Structure 1
């Protein structure tokens, strides 16, 4: 058995409807996934399954989600070792220690090329940062500005399928799977 992390792009089903994590957990268990756990109410799953291709797990989860909740949602899966490497590769440790909710990573289904980063850096405010690590986009958002142009710029249309998680969530998911290895 291998441990995996799954990240939902969205848990909003429509006007006033959100996915409840207990329903998401039940959906995953219905697929035969083992030791399914959720983290906060934003669509984070940790589970165990027989070793499989990541793309196969993503397709199974997306299909089950659409059948259960009536809407397609992109779901990104990473193996435990890949997730631990992602967390260990955080290029902003000082910022993460101070303001973990302002540091985020856009986890990508397909790695982003380095040529995409200058366009994001051009949208960053003076106190914001952008780096590419292993094909995923790391961001430090401004504490001074309530809204950032970076989040809107790092979207599906520009970079492909991905979803963002703040450092606090990345770290807690790593802690959840770190004890299982």
Structure 2
């Protein structure tokens, strides 16, 4: 049995795509997942399953949300080890920036095309630093994520890959919950 972390994009934001976490947990338990736990209202889930195909898990969860709640939500599923590697790969380790909630992870659903990554990697943004990998764009938003020009939507547009953003604190908390 493996431990997984699922991240749902764009739920419970601005009154749209309302999905109570109790209902999400119940749906995932009905799907046969074990030890289902959620963290805050933005679609962060830790669960266990005998299934080994993260792509299949993503598709299955997406379809169940659509049939149960009536809307589509991009879902990203990572193994505990993959998630740990993402957290450990963060290049922005300044404790002050972390405590000021300036460090973000934009997790990519698939590896972006090399040319797109290279072109995007040459861009610059005031008060923002970033590093692109095959699975994540690490952000340092010196003026805060709410004021950042380089946000989830822009990254999706530049790389042409579905993505979802989480702050450093959420990433660490999910990893703790998976342990």
TM-score scaled to structure 2, two decimals? Answer: 0.87
Structure 1 residues without counterparts, runs of 5 or longer? none
C-alpha displacement at 1:131, in angstroms?
0.2
Alignment of 1:55-134 (within 5 A): 55-94=55-94, 98-99=98-99, 101-113=101-113, 115=115, 116=117, 118-119=119-120, 122-125=123-126, 127-134=127-134
Task: Give the aligned CA root-mean-square deviation in angstroms.
Answer: 2.4
1:65·1:73 contact (CA, 8 Å) conserved in 2? yes
Q: Which one is further off, 132-141 or 13-22?
A: 13-22
Report whether the alignment pairs 1:164 with 2:165: yes
C-alpha displacement at 1:100, in angstroms?
5.6
Match of 2:10, SS state, is: coil
Match of 1:107, SS state, is: strand
Match of 1:149, SS state, is: coil
2:6·2:75 contact (CA, 8 Å) conserved in 1? yes
Report whether the alignment pairs 1:10 with 2:10: yes
Q: Which deviations, in whole Å up to 9, do the C-alpha atoms of 1:1-36 show, x marking residues without a partner?
A: 100000001214885662111111111111000000
C-alpha displacement at 1:146, in angstroms?
5.0
Cα distance in 2 for residues equivalent to 1:144 and 1:63: 34
Q: 1:23 corresponds to which residue?
A: 23
Match of 2:147, SS state, is: coil
TM-score scaled to structure 1, two decimals? Answer: 0.86
C-alpha displacement at 1:122, in angstroms?
2.4
C-alpha displacement at 1:170, in angstroms?
0.5
Task: Give the paired residue count.
Answer: 177
C-alpha displacement at 1:52, in angstroms?
1.8
Structure 2 residues without counterparts, runs of 5 or longer? none
Alignment of 1:40-59 (within 5 A): 40-59=40-59
1:131·1:137 contact (CA, 8 Å) conserved in 2? yes
1:117·1:131 contact (CA, 8 Å) conserved in 2? no
C-alpha displacement at 1:167, in angstroms?
0.5
2:105·2:138 contact (CA, 8 Å) conserved in 1? yes
1:33·1:47 contact (CA, 8 Å) conserved in 2? yes
Q: Which of structure 1's runs of 4+ aligned residues deviate more than 4 A?
A: 13-17
